């Protein structure tokens, strides 16, 4: 049975309240906070949410706007400084938008997870919904790679970064109310919804970091 937010937060804060956990949020423009002020972006809002749960944490913004999985694979090694205790990985959206081969994206993400695993760091792999405009096989390839990689590397898994915006039938409303004008990036209110939905999974990541 999944632990409640309150129970997880109690475990995290009770284990070692004096030690601040440092989490690298490693991703693309969704992580970086494209089109938003620093205070409105994913990293700042997630850190505020976690601190409201009583967790002493610092999130490092490792998001690069426009980055692909190949770009992430090229920079992951030097992004993992000695102070990092855990990593959130959110990449693949730009690969999908550019119609890049899902098998190559899978190889790049595997390289990222392998590097993190070699450091003994817990990781939360965050998936993204694949568009259908490149065909069913393309869509199925991206849909399958995230859970497969999470299982292979023992990562925590959050299936859809945008899940907090609502179920598929609500996405049209979400595009009007919770997204920026490009229809790709969430606005500040959308980020708040995303953070609230994903927050419990990040709490689990912090707990895993504290147990190392």
Catalytic residue among 28, 67, 95, 185: 185
Token pair in block for residue 78: 């030097």
Secondary structure letter of residue 186 according to DSSP: B
Asked whether the beta carbons of 71 and 8 are under 8 A apart, the reply is no
Q: Known catalytic residue: 185?
A: yes
Catalytic residue among 29, 67, 85, 95: 29
Q: How far is Cα 24 from Cα 85, in angstroms, rounded to an integer?
A: 8
Q: Known catalytic residue: 56?
A: no
Give the CA distances from residue 187 to residues 32, 51, 60, 181, in Å, rounded to whole numbers and listed in that order.
Answer: 13, 22, 20, 9
Asked whether the beta carbons of 33 and 2 are under 8 A apart, the reply is no
Considering only CA atoms, give the Rg of the chain.
16
Catalytic residue among 37, 81, 168, 182: 182
Token pair in block for residue 49: 């949410």
Q: Known catalytic residue: 182?
A: yes
Tell me the catalytic residues.
29, 182, 185
């Amino acid at each position: 049975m999944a632990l409640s937010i309150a129970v997880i937060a109690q475990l995290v804060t009770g284990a070692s309240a004096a030690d601040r956990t440092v989490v690298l949020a490693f991703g693309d423009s969704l992580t970086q906070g494209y089109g938003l002020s620093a205070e409105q972006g994913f990293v700042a809002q997630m850190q505020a949410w976690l601190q409201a749960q009583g967790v002493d944490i610092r999130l490092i913004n490792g998001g690069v706007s426009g980055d692909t999985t190949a770009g992430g694979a090229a920079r992951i090694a030097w992004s993992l400084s000695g102070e990092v205790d855990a990593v959130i990985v959110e990449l693949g959206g730009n690969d999908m938008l550019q119609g890049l081969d899902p098998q190559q994206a899978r190889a790049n993400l595997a390289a990222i997870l392998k590097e993190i695993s070699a450091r003994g760091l817990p990781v939360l792999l965050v998936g993204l919904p694949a568009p259908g405009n490149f065909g069913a096989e393309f869509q199925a390839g991206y849909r399958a790679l995230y859970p497969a990689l999470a299982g292979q590397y023992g990562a925590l898994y959050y299936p859809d970064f945008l899940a907090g915006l609502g179920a598929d039938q609500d996405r049209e409303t979400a595009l009007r109310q919770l997204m920026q004008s490009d229809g790709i990036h969430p606005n500040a209110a959308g980020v708040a919804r995303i953070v609230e939905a994903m927050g419990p999974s990040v709490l689990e990541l912090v707990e895993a970091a504290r147990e190392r």
